[in-house]
Structure 1
Amino acid sequence: MNKRSPAFATLQHGLLAAMCVLAVFPLYWMLISSFKNEAEIFTSSLVPMKPIWNNYRYAFEQMPIFRMMFNSFAVAALMTVFQLATSLLAAYALVRWRFRGQTLIFALLSLTWLIPYQSIMIPNYVLVNDMGLNETLIGVVLPFAVSTFAILSLYQSFQSFPRVLIEAACIDGQSDFGILTNLILPNIKSTVASLGIILFLNGWNEYLWPMLITRKMENSPIQIGLKLFVNSDTNMWGSLMAATTVSCIPILLIYIALQRQIVDSFVRYGVK
């Protein structure tokens, strides 16, 4: 089939439409399930026969949904800020100075990216517990204050920055912090913004570690709160779907507002 023929274009668009339907259908099923009663929740009906709002009312009565959504946003934002700050300083130091053991440090950083987080989860838990940070947002964020992925990504960007400009800034009397903030960052702000979006989404989707640190709904991110709700009342699937639908709204609004930047971020860095 000729790739420029109308039939080929129709086939392409048909396949894309089918994949879009497959991707969106779980969200649609979640939405319609939030309006179904207990008798209808397990049926294959694509439209609620008797839509009800009681599922949403019960979900808000039993769960501090807005508090948990704030917790999720705070955790994702704090992780992003800490990881960007530490990765900017670390990547700049690796590029700016030449010192003994630099290659070894870079190799060790690269190797830490290959270590599964589950292997260091227990030592981190013992440390956080000894510091008395259980049931706190700082306890959730602290082990993720440094990201090897972010350091390596910014290292590549700093490597491509002309060293002649850095040396000229040094001659002009600029401090290293001034060079980083006034010279380098304005020229790579799109890269930093793209990386920040990736880090924010990773922080929002973090599940295993917050589940280990938090036990109460009011201290948990929304993902952990939904799990606790299932454990407390396993029969209220309609209310669970209602709470899940509400929890998807903030990240959906963020995606609608920043969809071009988000797509560019995944194209730039790939899916981790």
Structure 2
Amino acid sequence: MTKKLSRVSGHVILILLSFLALFPIYWMIISSLKSSPEIFGYSMITTQPSFSNYIDAFTTVPLFRMMLNSVVVSLGTAVIQLVVAVLFAYAFTRWNFKGKIVVYGILSITWLIPVQAIMIPNYVEIINMGLNNTLFAMILPHCCSVFANISMYQNFNSIPKALIDAARMDGSSELQILKDIVLPNMKSSIASLGIVLVITAWNDYLWPTLVARTDEVKPIQIGLKSFTGTDTNMWGASMAAATISTIPILIVYIFMSRKIISSFMKGGIK
């Protein structure tokens, strides 16, 4: 009886937490289908669903262009950060050199530096390089992620060193070891880290605001701000645009969910 009560109470808690997580998404979608008078009401449903807000969203800003910019910036940033993190983690786990602990300590400390503290120097450098108002300007300052480096380093430590040494004795080069042995065993960890990096880059707002000047370069996060202002607030169109902007992230998660769950399971076993 005690086990049944514990199981039931656990399911009830999970249902409540799931409701709290999904309710904002439901509210966003249902608000995008409401008319202007209904949006300011308290009804949880709409009696006359309309897609006029989606039409307003596409006519107000170049939504597809902004979403494409966000996809390019997010995937480009995440891929570069993963490549740097993999190379960093492999070097730090497989080679011992003087000052290794010091380098790792300094790298960890830089994680504590807020982005706002280095934003102005980065902006000046982007201006001097002539990259302002380009997609590359939103990617370049984020090519190296301390979070990704440290996370990947912790995952690479789980690979037995005897396996690497055996491959070296067989005459495999470091690149072959990394490609044929290390990376196949790290697919789940790389996938879970990759989706975190993609979401982080997708939600970035402050830095793109500085370097993106025209609608042809602005990502979707800045485009959502175009629906609200001091004069008018297009809440319906804003909810419609926000609903559309979640689709790419949802697709990424669906395709990589198995890898993420596998990574969590491996972490739990360890």
Q: TM-score, normalised by structure 2?
A: 0.88
Contact 1:207 1:224 in 2 (8 A): yes
Partner of 1:210: 208
Secondary structure in 1 matching 2:159: coil
Letter in 1 for 2:3: R
**1:63-111 deviation line (CA, Å, top 9, x unaligned):** 1111111111111111111011111112222223222222211111111
Q: How does 1:142-157 map to 2 (within 5 A)?
A: 142-157=140-155
Q: How does 1:1-272 map to 2 (within 5 A)?
A: 3-5=2-4, 7-231=5-229, 234-264=232-262
Which sections of structure 2, spanning at least 5 residues, go unmatched?
none
Distance across 1 between alignment mates of 2:92 and 2:42: 57
Secondary structure in 2 matching 1:125: helix
Contact 2:67 2:220 in 1 (8 A): yes
Change (3 A) 1:171 1:233: farther
Change (3 A) 1:216 1:230: farther
Contact 1:76 1:203 in 2 (8 A): yes
**1:201-242 deviation line (CA, Å, top 9, x unaligned):** 222222222222213232121111101332387332111111
Distance across 1 between alignment mates of 2:264 and 2:124: 35
How far did residue 21 of structure 1 move? 2.2
How far did residue 163 of structure 1 move? 2.6
Change (3 A) 1:152 1:11: closer
Contact 1:88 1:154 in 2 (8 A): yes
Letter in 1 for 2:153: Y
Aligned-pair identity in percent equals 49
Contact 1:109 1:148 in 2 (8 A): yes
Letter in 2 for 1:99: F
The worse-fitting range, judged by mean Cα deviation, of 66-75 and 260-269 is 260-269
CA RMSD across the alignment: 2.4
Distance across 1 between alignment mates of 2:57 and 2:129: 34
How far did residue 151 of structure 1 move? 1.4
The worse-fitting range, judged by mean Cα deviation, of 181-190 and 81-90 is 181-190
Change (3 A) 1:233 1:241: farther
Q: TM-score, normalised by structure 1?
A: 0.88
Distance across 2 between alignment mates of 1:221 and 1:19: 31
Letter in 2 for 1:62: T
Distance across 2 between alignment mates of 1:86 and 1:194: 16
Contact 1:59 1:243 in 2 (8 A): yes
Letter in 2 for 1:236: M
